[in-house]
Chains A and B, each alone.
Chain A
Amino acid sequence: MENPLSMHALFHIGPVPITEPVVVTWGIMLFLGLGSAWATRRLTMVPGKLQAVLEMFVTVIDDQIRDTMQRDPSPFRVLIGTIFLYVFIANSSAIIPGIEPPTAMIETDAALALIVLAATIFYGIRYQGLRGYLSAFAEPSWVMIPLNVIEQITRTFSLIVRLFGNVMSGVFVVGIILSLAGFLVPIPLMALDLLTGTVQAYIFAILATVFIGAAMGEH
């Protein structure tokens, strides 16, 4: 049984080992970047089919952010939308034979969660000021400072472990079933994986929104 916590380098560029999740991640980045550039190269006032779909997608993301944060979604659309799209496509990439989703490796999830943590601090300081953001740690009284600091760490950690655990366990279960019975038997489980991946992408994006919204305080 393959160890889900370790990785092998596919090849080396100079002294830097390149592993499979890195290659898949860059593939997804290329796909998303070129796909977005191609899909938005000819925008018109009267949308065609493709543009209508894209506009609907952006509207849905905007509505979710507005409902969760009770704020104007435009400053957060790029970050939250990109996180959702990346996690969604990464989780769904398991349906391509031979590709393991990069989110099934704890390093990818750690990077994503650290991006969310950095965004939390960035927006907190930007909207409340450094003083306001730091004094929010002492709410409702100074006794809560250690707990509030620990909360920042544990919720980042839980973001990492939640995404990692869900995606990795899906890959793992399909691997075990494949080694027992190969033909057609893993298909229901792979369908379940697609559902879990979509839900986890949504939850990751919504939790990022909730954390950023909480850091910005009341308005």
Chain B
Amino acid sequence: MTSDLIQIVSILAAAIAVSFGAIGPALAEGRAVAAAMDAIARQPEAAGTLSRTLFVGLAMIETMAIYTLVIALLVLFANPFV
């Protein structure tokens, strides 16, 4: 009974973690890409450097969303209380 309750709460917690954890990185990635597009439009000859920096920056931002995903997986599959 208690174990069932913990599993229900875990699934809820995982869903909430991923959904809210995706908001911040989504907004941040949108801003970063918009800024990079702006910069490339102003200075097309710097497109190579800009896109490389953009990719690395996006990977950094994306890590935040991945952290929540990993925490959700820990809660679902490696929960110490189940």
Q: Do B49 and A164 touch across chains, with their CB atoms under 8 A apart? A: no
Partner of A164, one of B60, B62, B70, B78: B70
Q: Do A206 and B55 touch across chains, with their CB atoms under 8 A apart? A: yes
Partner of A67, one of B52, B62, B63: B52
A158 interfacial by beta-carbon distance below 8 Å: yes
Q: Do A5 and B55 touch across chains, with their CB atoms under 8 A apart? A: no
Q: Do B52 and A165 touch across chains, with their CB atoms under 8 A apart? A: no
Q: Do A4 and B77 touch across chains, with their CB atoms under 8 A apart? A: yes
Interface residues of A in 91-127 (CB under 8 A from B): none
* Cα separation A67 to B56 with both chains bound (whole Å): 13
Partner of B67, one of A5, A6, A161, A207: A161
Q: Do B55 and A161 touch across chains, with their CB atoms under 8 A apart? A: no
Interface residues of B in 26-67 (CB under 8 A from A): 48-49, 52, 55-56, 59-60, 62-63, 66-67
| Residues in chain B near residue A169, CB distance under 8 A | 66, 69
| Residues in chain A near residue B12, CB distance under 8 A | none
Count class of interface residues, chain B: 10 to 19
| Residues in chain A near residue B56, CB distance under 8 A | 203, 206-207, 210
Per DSSP, chain B at the interface is helix
Expressed in whole angstroms, the minimum distance between the Cβ of A33 and any Cβ of chain B is 29
Expressed in whole angstroms, the minimum distance between the Cβ of B17 and any Cβ of chain A is 13
| Residues in chain A near residue B66, CB distance under 8 A | 161-162, 165-166, 169
Q: Do A158 and B63 touch across chains, with their CB atoms under 8 A apart? A: yes
* Cα separation A199 to B74 with both chains bound (whole Å): 25
A202 interfacial by beta-carbon distance below 8 Å: yes
Expressed in whole angstroms, the minimum distance between the Cβ of B6 and any Cβ of chain A is 17
Minimum CB distance partner of B55 in chain A: A203
* Cα separation A64 to B62 with both chains bound (whole Å): 22
| Residues in chain A near residue B78, CB distance under 8 A | 3, 5
B73 interfacial by beta-carbon distance below 8 Å: yes
| Residues in chain B near residue A4, CB distance under 8 A | 73, 77
Minimum CB distance partner of B68 in chain A: A165
Expressed in whole angstroms, the minimum distance between the Cβ of A117 and any Cβ of chain B is 17
Q: Do A5 and B73 touch across chains, with their CB atoms under 8 A apart? A: yes
| Residues in chain B near residue A207, CB distance under 8 A | 56, 59
* Cα separation A68 to B62 with both chains bound (whole Å): 21
Q: Do B63 and A162 touch across chains, with their CB atoms under 8 A apart? A: yes
Question: What are the nearest 8 A-B pairs in CB distance?
Answer: A165-B66, A203-B59, A3-B77, A162-B63, A158-B63, A165-B69, A5-B77, A5-B78
A-B contact pairs, 21 of them (CB 8 A): A3-B78, A5-B73, A6-B77, A67-B49, A67-B52, A158-B63, A161-B63, A161-B66, A161-B67, A161-B70, A162-B62, A165-B63, A165-B66, A165-B69, A166-B66, A169-B66, A202-B55, A203-B59, A206-B55, A206-B56, A207-B56
